[in-house]
Amino acid sequence: MYEKQLLLIPGPTMVPPRVLRAMSAPSMGHRSKEFSAIIKDVADNLKKVFQTEQDVYILTSSGSGAMEAAVVNFINRDDKVLVLVNGKFGDRFVKINQRVGAEVIRVDYEAGTSANPEDVKNMLAKNPDIKAVFVQHNETSTAVVNNVKAIKQAMGDHEALLIVDSISGMAVADLPVDEIGADVVVAGSQKAFMLPPGLAFITVSEKAWKVNENCTSFNFYFDLRAAKKNYAQDTTPFTPATNLILGLKEALDIILEQGLESKFKQQLKFKKIIREAVKAMGLDVLVKDEQSASPGVTAVMVPENIAWKDINNIMLNEFNVLLAGGQDELKGKIFRIGHMGYVQETDLLTVIADLEMALYKLGYKLELGQGVKAAQEVILNLKGEM
Amino acid sequence: MYEKQLLLIPGPTMVPPRVLRAMSAPSMGHRSKEFSAIIKDVADNLKKVFQTEQDVYILTSSGSGAMEAAVVNFINRDDKVLVLVNGKFGDRFVKINQRVGAEVIRVDYEAGTSANPEDVKNMLAKNPDIKAVFVQHNETSTAVVNNVKAIKQAMGDHEALLIVDSISGMAVADLPVDEIGADVVVAGSQKAFMLPPGLAFITVSEKAWKVNENCTSFNFYFDLRAAKKNYAQDTTPFTPATNLILGLKEALDIILEQGLESKFKQQLKFKKIIREAVKAMGLDVLVKDEQSASPGVTAVMVPENIAWKDINNIMLNEFNVLLAGGQDELKGKIFRIGHMGYVQETDLLTVIADLEMALYKLGYKLELGQGVKAAQEVILNLKGEM
């Protein structure tokens, strides 16, 4: 490996050397006082990033494990749930709920559009026995960000839990968990947290803990009661991925040094850089509505008569840039540029310049430099502050 | 952290710098060709270590996650299972089976004694409808190694599955999975694999796959059907802990460079060094029977009138050595010296010398150097080859 690849997929994202160094410390006893102090430090900082006073538990798993935890600890067989589906990961919430034996009402949105809070209101009115509403904060597969706050508001006084997958949204777009009143929120290490994959995070409101008391479907490894009990002693029920947690400590320090507000603003700028640049190249974006476009990943339509496979081939093998294709029914139709985590503006100029050259080589009609120019104009605020 | 601690707990174990360096590589796309090549390499080498022709799936979880996978993919509600319990982890198999709703027959062994294959024979004769026999290869909590081969032989022609937790046994004591005919075997990264925690491994026999076809209790994240399907394309169903897998590649290379036979012999020598040394110090071991004593961890009885807390305090704070105490009902009664993974004979001389000094300071009657001498005699083969 030459190891100079520009990794711009929507996770795993690039990891700062500071984090990699922290991860390469010698092994530690996971029940040692020294490690408990690290757990405590990390737990405190996770609360800051989640903007919550509740505990944020650390799971050693991919984000999908945390999604399962967000279902099995609260939903019983035959419970009715509403799942808003903006893409592959919304569909995953459906599948996990089906495994539990829940009765799933799903509302599907056209690829590239965000969830409509009105639908939640109507569905809850029609089905007052809905026990939980599931939604992605940021749907990675379609590069859509949902307005979680508006969804919660649309729920009004209904007692259903709001369960949010913010795996690729947390620390990318503002999600003040307590202020909004989201009940269960999950995040993952390999997105904006700038860590390798292997850790996931989950927080649970008091209301959700009450629901958990009557939950019988939970499994063993993802039993959050055990997580809660152990967290009170600054430890975890099972041996956690200690070295990833050492990296997490460093990554959280980096995030909080920058500050959440600055980070969210930066992410919006990244989004604008990419969107303006690809539009200047004559490309379409999947998400037309600015408010619905993710600040962490942008989905670009593959131009007519050009194959994503060929674009990817040039980007990867000639320019050493890894982008992501579309998934499932979007395969070949879109490609995705990740811009979350350890990314700076220069990286985005590079990817735009490379993309121009790749498309140029494939016979796509464009004037070289126009995309870069549009990106530069955003960086320099030539068209007004964000 | 001064980072010179001698970490001799039975996991997490010490990690070779070669592995730590491999883990600190920049992030990679988990669906990239480059990473698939690594998965393939690792999958091939895992088969060698497991001594099996079957796939060995990689799970991103602690060992307990793999234990859950070993239950939920094969056992349905109301299935009858036999669990041999030599300590805390046998008890964990009971608990996971109970979560699934299985009817659990447990056979408990006195702490420090291994499972009796005759019991398996008798239990299967009395309960011909037993669907699976669960056993620890190496029970970490009591430092006992079970004779898995004899247990399988005792099962005779009975069609029950043999499901083995070898989390702390694999690459420590010989477990030729195919030759023995074990159906499901799990292992963990943070023991003899010389990796930080965060990965677990599981292999499934053809017979067990047939049982899986009729299994309805499996959950989402640990669904091995998805693992199997994805492995055929050198990938995993969910984003795996990529950097730990980079470390795994290196660790497997180290293990196979040494060779399994050499490794098992070395582990037996480690066991003999520790056992002879502590006996020469007048200490008792928990596991009296040599054949039942784990080659990877030794449980030593805390001497009368001395508190483990005080021993631990001196070992940790004065000599920078971390040992493990007893768990649950063995708390305060035993302490455990781990000797698996990245350990060499010198480490064991050090821990014995430190232990002598710690006990000396606490008023325990011993002649300094006697334990070390016994260890040296084993190292030099003065009392005959192993």
Single out the residue of B378, B180, B113, B151 nearest to residue B265, CA to CA.
B378
Fold of the A17-257 domain: Aspartate Aminotransferase; domain 2 (3.40.640)
- Of the candidates B15, B61, B239, the beta carbon closest to that of A190 is on B239
In the chain, the amino acid numbered B65 is: G
Q: Does A43 have pLDDT greater than 80?
A: yes
Per the CB < 8 Å rule, is B7 touching A15? no
Residue with tokens 């993710």: A294
Q: What is the mean pLDDT of the segment spanning A121-132?
A: 98
Per the CB < 8 Å rule, is A96 touching B220? yes
Single out the residue of B328, B275, B284 nearest to residue B306, CA to CA.
B284
pLDDT at B319 (0 to 100): 97
Residue B264, min C-alpha distance to chain A (Å): 23
In DSSP notation, A106-173 reads: EEE--TT----HHHHHHHHHH-TTEEEEEEESEETTTTEE--HHHHHHHHTT---EEEEE-TTTTTTS
Residue with tokens 């505990």: A55
Q: How confident is the model at residue A120 (pLDDT cuts 50, 70, 90)?
A: very high
In the chain, the amino acid numbered B332 is: G
Q: Where are the alpha helices (DSSP H) in chain A?
A: 17-23, 33-50, 63-72, 88-100, 117-126, 148-155, 177-180, 206-213, 224-231, 242-258, 260-280, 308-317, 345-361, 370-379
Dist CA B97 CA B72 (whole Å): 8
- Of the candidates A27, A72, A222, the beta carbon closest to that of B196 is on A27
Per the CB < 8 Å rule, is A23 touching B243? yes
Per the CB < 8 Å rule, is B62 touching A32? no
Query: Residues B294, B145: contact at Cβ < 8 Å?
Result: yes
* Residues constituting chain A: 386
Q: Who contacts A49 (Cβ-Cβ below 8 Å, separation ≥6)?
A: A56, A170, A171, A252, A255, A256, A260
pLDDT at A290 (0 to 100): 97
pLDDT at A154 (0 to 100): 98
- Mean residue pLDDT across chain A: 97
pLDDT at B386 (0 to 100): 63
Segment (H or E) for A200: strand A199-204
* Residue B117 C-alpha from the chain's centroid: 20
pLDDT at B3 (0 to 100): 87
Residue A63, min C-alpha distance to chain B (Å): 8
Instruction: Give me the phi and psi of B198, to 5 degrees please.
Output: 135, -15
pLDDT at A386 (0 to 100): 63
Nearest CA in chain A to B9: A29
In the chain, the amino acid numbered B314 is: I
Q: Does A1 have pLDDT greater than 60?
A: no
Dist CA A194 CA A375 (whole Å): 24
Higher pLDDT, A381 or B57: B57
Q: How confident is the model at residue A3 (pLDDT cuts 50, 70, 90)?
A: confident
- Output the tens digit of pLDDT for each of chain B's 386 residues: 578 999 999 999 999 999 999 999 999 999 999 999 999 999 999 999 999 999 999 999 999 999 999 999 999 999 999 999 999 999 999 999 999 999 999 999 999 999 999 999 999 999 999 999 999 999 999 999 999 999 999 999 999 999 999 999 999 999 999 999 999 999 999 999 999 999 999 999 999 999 999 998 778 999 999 999 999 999 999 999 999 999 999 999 999 999 999 999 999 999 999 999 999 999 999 999 999 999 999 999 999 999 999 999 999 999 999 999 999 999 999 999 999 999 999 999 999 999 999 999 999 999 999 999 999 999 999 877 66
Per the CB < 8 Å rule, is B99 touching A15? no
Q: What is the CATH number of domain B6-11+259-379?
A: 3.90.1150.10
Query: Residues B197, B15: contact at Cβ < 8 Å?
Result: no
N-to-C CA span, chain A: 39
Strand partners, A158: none
Sign of torsion over alpha carbons A21, A23, A24, A27: positive
Query: Any idea where the domains of chain B sit in the sequence?
Result: 6-11+259-379, 17-257
- Of the candidates B24, B242, B322, the beta carbon closest to that of A21 is on B24
Number of A/B CB contacts below 8 angstroms equals: 179
